[in-house]
Structure 1
Amino acid sequence: EEIARDLREQIVSGEFPPGSALPLMRDMGASYEVSDITMRKALAVLVREGLVESRRRSGMFVRSHPDRVRLTVRQRAVERDELGYYSGAEVKHWRALPHPDGVRTRVASVPVPADVADLLGVAPGEELTVRRRIVGDPEREEHRQLADSWVSAWITAELPILATDDTGLGGMYDRIEEWAKRPLEWREEVSARMPSPEEADALLMPRAGVPLLRAVRITVLPAKGRQPERVVEVQDIRMSSELFAVGYPLPRGRSAKWPVPAASSDYYKATSAE
């Protein structure tokens, strides 16, 4: 931990700039007066943190991290053009990319993960239709996301076309709105986790040190008359946190509606009892 802390400070300070090679492990071990095993463990800490990477037969190198200015901020708003719905103006030009087998939309009936099952209101492991896509910028290979759409069984029963790889012009949201004769609504939950090896490979990410940004979008058919709100789809969207940030507006809540009342308590002196 002490060695990792020292090397981390040297990387952050720029003593070892992005792209530079660290000294040979045996030389660093000698400098710190530790064994190769201890040195490997210290470097493994920095690999997990995403600060350095191992290049086969070349040694350890400081990874290049995009600064805040170069992050692409993904605005979470549903937009529409002549092709149908899309999420955010910065991805308007993105398209479905082929999987390694050449297929653009993989459709299967498989057990639903527990967290997605909870949002859909079904039992974990229940078999549902999932539509898997890689969506990205045709001009920037690394700008891509994975999007798995888990579709509720009740809506695929009404619209069997949703369980096929071609849902027609406008895609599945258009088919659902045409059938329901009213607009869909969306909400999202954003979190982060480490990628699986398969996810890292598909997103052209390193297998260690960089977490995924995960936006779970819930698509609902809003309540109408005596019909309650119904979830039609949960889309599991994953992208590299090294390349993207999530941006969204912060609306004023009811209690903060302008004009606001004058504050009457000292924030730093108020107690929980008050």
Structure 2
Amino acid sequence: MAAQYEQIARDLRERIASGEYAPGTALPLMRDIAAEYGVSDITVRKAYGLLTREGLIESRRRTGVFVRELPDRVRLTVRNRQIERDELGYYSGPEVQHWRALPHPGGEQTRVTTAPAPADVADILGVETGTEMTVRRRIIGDQNIETHRQLADSWIPAWVTEEVPALAGNTGAGGMYDRVEEWAGRPLEWREEVSARMPSPEEASALLMPDTGVPLLRAVRVTVLPARRKQPERVVEVQDVRMSAELFAVGYPVPRGDSAKWPVRPATSDYYQADAPAD
């Protein structure tokens, strides 16, 4: 059986979804909700806290608690994740061609430092967690829309910076990918995986995200020199890209696998049978 605050949160959630409490409108005062349900203010505060963590409402100092704009009520910018190129070099999709590096609080546009590799980055690079390596940190965004921005940390293994020292400093025209391709004499390739998590306070601040339950959209892009002859594939960078999941979605094509090449064979079993494969 649901606790009282969970029931109140459920009712308010439904009233928000139905439009009874529209985005931007104030919710009733806690004492009024408490009187409606016959509970204490503490119980209502717990219900409001739950809805705040879900990103549905926000508290505005000295003015009350308001319904936030929901992602399904705001047109998301769909990020088509593909590598493109113009006169400035490579960029990751047509929606961000006009984006530029924004200054960090200290004024620098690219913050180059050494730091211990987090576990997932270290795993991709095949090194021990905490291994010191070069990391290039940037804030990239739309200069005309303040909230349209992303954090991008490029983790670069030691062998790459030894071979291409420019990656530990100013990479020049075209950026790090041009420097690596010039050194290697062949093209790079990329692959990505997308996930979500909650932001740290520092990430939320840098991305101008609200102090509510809005997750990060995280794209981890792996840059490789592909295998050739007797040389195995080599990972030259792991880029950790984070942006607000409230403002952005990821778009990508859904190709047919080899087993689904057209023309297809007629199906021979009923999808709704218990032993049918899951979609």
Identify the TM-score tier after normalising by the shorter chain.
over 0.9
Which residue does the alignment assign to 1:158?
163
Which residue does the alignment assign to 2:88?
83
Identity %: 74
String of CA shifts for 1:181-239, please: whole Å, max 9, x gaps.
00000000000001111111111111321111000000000112111100000000001
Q: Is 1:172 the counterpart of 2:176 in the alignment?
A: yes
Report the more deviating stretch, 26-35 or 186-195.
26-35
Which letter does structure 2 place at the counterpart of 1:193?
A: R
Deviation at 1:271, TM superposition (A): 2.3
Q: Is 1:149 the counterpart of 2:154 in the alignment?
A: yes
String of CA shifts for 1:47-102, please: whole Å, max 9, x gaps.
01100001111110000124377111000100000000000101100000001111
Which residue does the alignment assign to 1:211?
215
Contact 1:195-1:207 at 8 Å conserved across structures: no
Instruction: Figure out how many residues of one structure are paired with residues of the other and give that number.
Output: 272
Which letter does structure 2 place at the counterpart of 1:97?
A: L
Report the more deviating stretch, 261-270 or 139-148.
261-270
Which residue does the alignment assign to 1:242?
246
Q: Take 1:119 and 1:208, find their aligned partners in 2: how far apart are those partners?
A: 31
TM-score, length basis structure 1: 0.97
Deviation at 1:270, TM superposition (A): 5.8
Q: Aligned match of 2:136 in 128, 131, 140?
A: 131
Q: Take 2:265 and 2:236, find their aligned partners in 1: how far apart are those partners?
A: 41
Unaligned runs of 5+ residues in structure 2 are: 1-5
Which residue does the alignment assign to 2:3?
none
Which residue does the alignment assign to 2:271?
267
Deviation at 1:25, TM superposition (A): 1.2
Q: Take 1:204 and 1:19, find their aligned partners in 2: how far apart are those partners?
A: 19
Q: Is 1:5 the counterpart of 2:10 in the alignment?
A: yes
Which letter does structure 2 place at the counterpart of 1:189?
A: E
Q: Take 2:215 and 2:92, find their aligned partners in 1: how far apart are those partners?
A: 21
Q: Aligned match of 1:202 in 199, 206, 220?
A: 206
Q: Aligned match of 1:227 in 212, 228, 231?
A: 231
Q: Is 1:59 the counterpart of 2:58 in the alignment?
A: no
- RMSD over aligned CA atoms reads 1.3
